[in-house]
Chains A and B, each alone.
Chain A
Amino acid sequence: MKKFSSLLHNLILTPSRNTKIKLLQDYFNKLDINRAYALAILSDQLSFQFIKASKLRELVYEQVDQHLFDYSYDYVGDLAETISLIWPTKKEGKSQNLSTLIENIKKIKKSEINTEFSKILSELSNNERWTLIKICTGGLRIGVSERLVKTALADLYNKSVNEIEEIWHGLEFPYENLFQWLKNEISKPKIDFKKLFHPMMLANPIDEEKDFKRLDANEFQAEYKWDGIRVQLMVSSKSVSLYSRTGDNISSAFPEIIEATEGDAVIDGELLVGRNFKPSGFNDLQQRLNRKKASKDLQNKFPVFIRAYDILFYKGKDLRKFSLLERRKYLEKFQKENKTNQIDLSSIINFSTWKELTKYKNNFHDDLNEGVMIKLKNSEYLPGRKKGYWYKWKKNPKLVDAILMYAQRGHGKRSSYYSDFTFGVWKESELVPIGKAYSGYTDKELLVLDKFIRNNTINKFGPVREVKKEIILEVAFDDVFPSTRHKSGVAMRFPRIHRIRWDKPVNEVLTISEFKKEFKLS
C-alpha cells in the first residue's frame, strides 16, 4: 500500500507525460500480485459496495466535529484529501499489501463497516488514507487516463497499445492472461468480440476557420447531433444488452428496449425520450437517467427509443473495417428486417457546400438537436477520438447577461479558488438567481473574479459568499426549461461563463419576465 500510494502521489504531482509513464512502468515492472489490483484501480474497475462518499462522511463525523470538517472540506475541495488530513492518526499499524488490504475490506460485513473500516483508516498514514478513500469514491482524478496506463504497459512489453485496447473489454480481474501475453508466455487472449462492448467512435469539435478550408464537403455526410445519451445496443438471438458510452451495462434501466429488440447486430445510437420517434428534450430524459430500474409508470410517462447512427456487427460479421457508406446499407437492412417502435434511423442531411450545411446546423425550428455531425463517408469505425474522421459542429449557444450574486470555492483543479458562480436577473428591484456555472472562463478571468469576490464579499452563508452586485457575466447555455424547483422558475442546461461584460451597467440586465419572453418560456 505504501508503494502504491506513493505512486499515486507522484502521478498527481508530475506534469510530464513521459515521467508519468516511467513511474507507471517502474511500478508494474515489479511482478507481484499487487499489479492486478493497481491496474483495476487505475482503470476505475474496482469499487466497494458499501463504502461510498456518503458513508465516508458519516464515518468522519464520528471522528471529528461536523462543522470543523465542513470548514475544512470547503477549503480543500476534495473529499478524499480532507478526510485523509483530518482523520485523527492513531499509531500507524503494520504496512499492508495493497492486495491484502483490499481483500480484507471486501470481507467486511455491512453491519460492521463503521467500526472495521474506521479502524483501517486509523492505522494508515495520511497518504495511504488518501489513496484508499480515492479508491472507494472511484474516479481517481490524478491526471492519468486509462489510455495512459495501457500505453505504459504496451511500451514496457513492446506491444502496441491498440492491441491492448482491442481486447481490453474482454479482460477480467486479475488479468492473468493479459500479463502472461505481455510477457510473451502465451499468445494473445481470445476474446468473443460479439459479446464485448466495443469502445465507441467519437467526434472532434470542428474548427470552422481551419477545417472548412481544408476539407472537401463531397467526402462527408452529415446527420443531426441529438441531445440524449450515446449507447451501444447488442442484439443476438440469445440476449439483448445496452451499454453506455463508458461500457457500463444499463440494460435494466431500459427494459422496453431490451424486450422489443430482435435480430443479430451491434448498433451504435442515441437514447432519447419521446413518442413516435419525436424526442422531447433532455429534461425528460433526465427522469430516466441514473436509475437502476424503471417502473411501468415511468416507462409510460417517459418512453425511450434509440436513434441509430451506425452498425458494428451484422449477423456475426465484423463491419468495423467497412466504410461508413457500406455500414449504412447494413444498418438500413437491419432496421427493415427488425421493425420496432424502439429504433429508428438517424436521417442523413443532403448538402453540397459547407455554407449550405450552416442552416441545418443552426436549425432553430427544431430545438431538440444540438447541431450536426460531419462524418467522412469512407471512415472505418475506429475506437476513440481519432482526428480527421468524425466532427461535431454545435449550434451557437444561447447567451444572456446576468449579474454575479454568489460564489463558492471550486473542487478538483479549481479547489480554493472562488470558481462556482451563481448569477441572476432582476425581479422588480431585487435579483433572482437563474443559474450556476463553474466553467467557460479563462484562467485569467478566474483570477480576476476570485479577487473581486474576496474583496467584495458582503455576506457569508457557510461556504457561500454573497458579493456586491457589480459584475455582469455573459452566460452561454444550451437550453433553458421551465422549472418548479427554482425560485426564478427556470432551469438552464449547461450554463458556462462566456465572458465578463465590463462595459455594461447592471441596470441594463433583463428582468425575469423579459428573460422568459426572450427564450419562449412564457
Chain B
Amino acid sequence: MDFINHQLFIKDINVHIDPIFPKKTAIITHGHADHARFGHDHVIATRQTIDIMKIRYGDKCAKKFTPLRYGQKYSIKNYDFTLYPAGHILGSAQVLIEKNNHRLVITGDYKVGKDETCKNFKLVKCDTLITEATFGLPIFQHPDPKDEIQKLIRSVKINKNNCHIVGAYALGKAQRVMNLLRQQKYNETIYIHGSLEKLCQYYSKEKINIGKFEKVSSKDKNFYEGKIIIAPPSALKDRWSRRFPNPIICMASGWMTVKQRAKQQGIELPLVISDHSDWNELLDTIKKSKAKNILITHGQEDALVYYCKKQNLVSKPLSIQGRSDEEIE
C-alpha cells in the first residue's frame, strides 16, 4: 500500500484523490467543496458528482470528465479503480484501488444509515482502509433522524407566529432535510435561500423526493410566519436572516450533539442530522472491512487510532492538507 502517500497521491501514475489544488488526474469522491475543486485536467467521478461540479463551478471546471458507474472498473496501467456508494450525498463514492492483489479503499465521507437522497453505503472488503473520522469520538451516537425532524415539525406547530430557519449545507444536507420532512408528511412548500436553488432543482430532476420548494423573495414580512426556510449555515448569522418574523434558528448537523456547540453558534433548535458515520458506524465499518491496516483522515482521529491499536490493527492518522479538523460536512 505504499503506492499512495499521505496526500492521497499515487505518484506512479500521477493520480490524486480529492486534491485541493489543480492536478492532472483527479478522482473525486463527492461534490463538497473540500473534496471537489475547480481546474483539474481530468476528473474521474460518478455522473452525479460531475453534474454537481458543473453546476457549482461551470461546465469548463475541468478539461475532461470521465463518468463512472458504481461498480464499473477503470484501469490506469496496473491500477484498477472502482467506485462504490458512500451514502454521504447524491453521487458520493468510495474508491477501491486494486494493485497486485492488494485492495485499498478510500471511504471519502460516508454514512451507513439510510438516506433516500442517495444510494446507500456499500461495505467493501479490503486490506487497507482509509477512513474518515469526522465524528470519531464515542460521544457521537447519532439519533434516528426521523425523531429529530419531528422536533422541527412539532416546533412549527407550537410556534405559529415564528418562522423556522434551518441551517443546512447547500449540497446534500439541505435536500436531505427536505426529504426527511416529506417522509414525515410535511407537505407545505419549503422556502429556500437563493444559493440552494440550482442544487434543489438538480435533486428534483434526479427524482429525489424533496417536494415543493420556492426561493425566498421579498414578500410581506408576515408571509413567512409558520413557514420553514432552509439556508446555508453562513446565512444564519447574516443580515439575511433578520428580515423574517421572529425567526427560530435551527441547525441540522451532527455537531449539534454537543449543546455547548449549538449554544456557541446561537442555535435555538439543534437537529442532530448527520451525513457522516457516527462512532459505532465507524467501528463497525472498520471491523467488517476486514482490513488490517487502518489509516484515518480528517476529523477526530486520535480516539479512533487509539481504538484500532487496541484491536491490534495497524493504524495511524493521515493529515491531509486543506482539511480543517472541524466544521466540515
**A interface list, Cβ under 8 A from B:** 9, 12-15, 64-65, 67-69, 71-72, 75-78, 81-82, 85-86, 130, 412-413, 415-416, 454
How far is it, in angstroms, between the C-alpha of A64 and the C-alpha of B270 when the chains are bound?
Answer: 26
Give the chain A neighbours of B264 by CB distance below 8 A. Answer: 413, 415-416
Contact at A72–B268, with CB atoms within 8 Å? Answer: no
**Can you list 24 A-B pairs with a CB-CB distance of less than 8 A?**
A12-B263, A13-B259, A13-B262, A13-B268, A13-B269, A13-B270, A68-B138, A69-B138, A71-B303, A71-B306, A72-B137, A72-B138, A72-B139, A75-B300, A76-B139, A81-B259, A85-B139, A86-B138, A130-B259, A412-B260, A413-B263, A415-B260, A415-B261, A416-B261
From 289 to 329 in chain B, residues with beta carbon under 8 angstroms from any chain A beta carbon are 300, 302-303, 306-307, 310, 324-326
Give the chain A neighbours of B263 by CB distance below 8 A. Answer: 12-13, 413
Residue B13, interface by CB 8 Å? no
How far is it, in angstroms, between the C-alpha of A508 and the C-alpha of B278 when the chains are bound?
Answer: 48
Contact partner, B260, options A14, A15, A413, Cβ 8 Å: A413
How far is it, in angstroms, between the C-alpha of A257 and the C-alpha of B175 when the chains are bound?
Answer: 69
Given A13-B259, A86-B139, 8 more contacts at CB 8 Å? A9-B259, A14-B268, A67-B306, A71-B306, A75-B137, A416-B258, A416-B261, A454-B325
Give the chain B neighbours of A82 by CB distance below 8 A. Answer: 139
How far is it, in angstroms, between the C-alpha of A81 and the C-alpha of B141 when the chains are bound?
Answer: 13
How far is it, in angstroms, between the C-alpha of A72 and the C-alpha of B260 when the chains are bound?
Answer: 13
How far is it, in angstroms, between the C-alpha of A71 and the C-alpha of B303 when the chains are bound?
Answer: 6
How far is it, in angstroms, between the C-alpha of A482 and the C-alpha of B267 when the chains are bound?
Answer: 46
How far is it, in angstroms, between the C-alpha of A263 and the C-alpha of B325 when the chains are bound?
Answer: 64
Contact at B260–A76, with CB atoms within 8 Å? Answer: yes
Minimal beta-carbon separation of B51 from chain A (angstroms): 33
Give the chain A neighbours of B310 by CB distance below 8 A. Answer: 65
Give the chain B neighbours of A14 by CB distance below 8 A. Answer: 268
Residue B194, interface by CB 8 Å? no
Contact at A71–B261, with CB atoms within 8 Å? Answer: no
Give the chain A neighbours of B58 by CB distance below 8 A. Answer: none
**CB-based A-B contact count at 8 angstroms:** 68
Among A12, A13, A14, A412, residue most surrounded by chain B Cβ atoms (within 10 Å): A13
Nearest chain-B residue to A416 (Cβ)? B261
Residue B209, interface by CB 8 Å? no
Give the chain A neighbours of B71 by CB distance below 8 A. Answer: none
Contact partner, A85, options B257, B262, B267, B326, Cβ 8 Å: B257
Nearest chain-A residue to B269 (Cβ)? A13
Contact at B139–A13, with CB atoms within 8 Å? Answer: no
How far is it, in angstroms, between the C-alpha of A448 and the C-alpha of B264 when the chains are bound?
Answer: 17
Nearest chain-B residue to A10 (Cβ)? B268
Residue B266, interface by CB 8 Å? yes
How far is it, in angstroms, between the C-alpha of A13 and the C-alpha of B141 when the chains are bound?
Answer: 21
Q: How many residues on the B side are at the interface (Cβ–Cβ under 8 A)? A: 27
How far is it, in angstroms, between the C-alpha of A64 and the C-alpha of B269 when the chains are bound?
Answer: 29
Minimal beta-carbon separation of A418 from chain B (angstroms): 11
Minimal beta-carbon separation of A364 from chain B (angstroms): 40
Give the chain B neighbours of A77 by CB distance below 8 A. Answer: 260
Nearest chain-B residue to A82 (Cβ)? B139
Give the chain A neighbours of B269 by CB distance below 8 A. Answer: 13
Contact at B268–A81, with CB atoms within 8 Å? Answer: no
Minimal beta-carbon separation of A467 from chain B (angstroms): 15
Give the chain B neighbours of A81 by CB distance below 8 A. Answer: 258-260
How far is it, in angstroms, between the C-alpha of A85 and the C-alpha of B260 when the chains are bound?
Answer: 12
Give the chain A neighbours of B260 by CB distance below 8 A. Answer: 76-78, 81, 412-413, 415-416
Give the chain A neighbours of B302 by CB distance below 8 A. Answer: 71
Contact at B267–A13, with CB atoms within 8 Å? Answer: yes
Give the chain B neighbours of A69 by CB distance below 8 A. Answer: 138
Minimal beta-carbon separation of B147 from chain A (angstroms): 12
Closest 6 CB pairs of A and B: A85-B139, A71-B303, A415-B260, A72-B139, A72-B137, A86-B139
Contact partner, B307, options A13, A68, A75, A78, Cβ 8 Å: A68
How far is it, in angstroms, between the C-alpha of A413 and the C-alpha of B259 when the chains are bound?
Answer: 10
Given contacts A75-B137, A76-B139, contact A68 B258 (CB under 8 A): no
Give the chain B neighbours of A64 by CB distance below 8 A. Answer: 138
Give the chain A neighbours of B306 by CB distance below 8 A. Answer: 67-68, 71
How far is it, in angstroms, between the C-alpha of A85 and the C-alpha of B259 when the chains are bound?
Answer: 10
Contact at A15–B326, with CB atoms within 8 Å? Answer: no
Give the chain A neighbours of B259 by CB distance below 8 A. Answer: 9, 12-13, 78, 81, 130
Give the chain A neighbours of B307 by CB distance below 8 A. Answer: 68
Minimal beta-carbon separation of A255 from chain B (angstroms): 42
How far is it, in angstroms, between the C-alpha of A14 and the C-alpha of B246 when the chains are bound?
Answer: 13
How far is it, in angstroms, between the C-alpha of A14 and the C-alpha of B259 when the chains are bound?
Answer: 12
How far is it, in angstroms, between the C-alpha of A415 and the C-alpha of B264 when the chains are bound?
Answer: 9
How far is it, in angstroms, between the C-alpha of A75 and the C-alpha of B138 when the chains are bound?
Answer: 11
How far is it, in angstroms, between the C-alpha of A363 and the C-alpha of B156 when the chains are bound?
Answer: 61
Bitwise interface map of B from 255 to 291 toward A, beta carbon under 8 Å scored 1, else 0: 0011111111011111000000000000000000000
Minimal beta-carbon separation of A444 from chain B (angstroms): 14
Give the chain B neighbours of A72 by CB distance below 8 A. Answer: 137-139, 303
Nearest chain-B residue to A127 (Cβ)? B259
How far is it, in angstroms, between the C-alpha of A9 and the C-alpha of B267 when the chains are bound?
Answer: 12
Nearest chain-B residue to A412 (Cβ)? B260
Contact partner, B303, options A68, A78, A413, Cβ 8 Å: A68
Bitwise interface map of B from 123 to 155 toward A, beta carbon under 8 Å scored 1, else 0: 000000000000001111100000000000000
Give the chain A neighbours of B137 by CB distance below 8 A. Answer: 68, 71-72, 75
Among B268, B302, B326, residue most surrounded by chain A Cβ atoms (within 10 Å): B302
Minimal beta-carbon separation of B26 from chain A (angstroms): 24
Minimal beta-carbon separation of A469 from chain B (angstroms): 21
Nearest chain-B residue to A76 (Cβ)? B258
Give the chain A neighbours of B267 by CB distance below 8 A. Answer: 13
Contact partner, B266, options A15, A85, A454, Cβ 8 Å: A15
Given contacts A13-B267, A68-B307, contact A85 B324 (CB under 8 A): no
Minimal beta-carbon separation of A310 from chain B (angstroms): 39
Give the chain B neighbours of A67 by CB distance below 8 A. Answer: 303, 306
From 37 to 64 in chain B, residues with beta carbon under 8 angstroms from any chain A beta carbon are none
Among A76, A77, A82, residue most surrounded by chain B Cβ atoms (within 10 Å): A76
Minimal beta-carbon separation of A272 from chain B (angstroms): 38
Give the chain B neighbours of A65 by CB distance below 8 A. Answer: 310
How far is it, in angstroms, between the C-alpha of A12 and the C-alpha of B264 when the chains are bound?
Answer: 10
Minimal beta-carbon separation of A453 from chain B (angstroms): 11
Give the chain B neighbours of A15 by CB distance below 8 A. Answer: 266, 268
Minimal beta-carbon separation of B304 from chain A (angstroms): 9
Give the chain A neighbours of B141 by CB distance below 8 A. Answer: 85
Minimal beta-carbon separation of B211 from chain A (angstroms): 28
How far is it, in angstroms, between the C-alpha of A82 and the C-alpha of B257 when the chains are bound?
Answer: 10
Give the chain A neighbours of B261 by CB distance below 8 A. Answer: 415-416
How far is it, in angstroms, between the C-alpha of A495 and the C-alpha of B324 when the chains are bound?
Answer: 30
How far is it, in angstroms, between the C-alpha of A85 and the C-alpha of B278 when the chains are bound?
Answer: 13
Give the chain A neighbours of B257 by CB distance below 8 A. Answer: 85
How far is it, in angstroms, between the C-alpha of A425 and the C-alpha of B137 when the chains are bound?
Answer: 36
How far is it, in angstroms, between the C-alpha of A413 and the C-alpha of B306 when the chains are bound?
Answer: 28
How far is it, in angstroms, between the C-alpha of A241 and the C-alpha of B231 when the chains are bound?
Answer: 59
Give the chain A neighbours of B140 by CB distance below 8 A. Answer: 85
How far is it, in angstroms, between the C-alpha of A86 and the C-alpha of B258 when the chains are bound?
Answer: 11
Nearest chain-B residue to A77 (Cβ)? B260
Minimal beta-carbon separation of B236 from chain A (angstroms): 13
Minimal beta-carbon separation of B310 from chain A (angstroms): 8
Give the chain B neighbours of A76 by CB distance below 8 A. Answer: 139, 258, 260
Nearest chain-B residue to A67 (Cβ)? B306
Contact at B139–A75, with CB atoms within 8 Å? Answer: yes
Give the chain A neighbours of B268 by CB distance below 8 A. Answer: 13-15
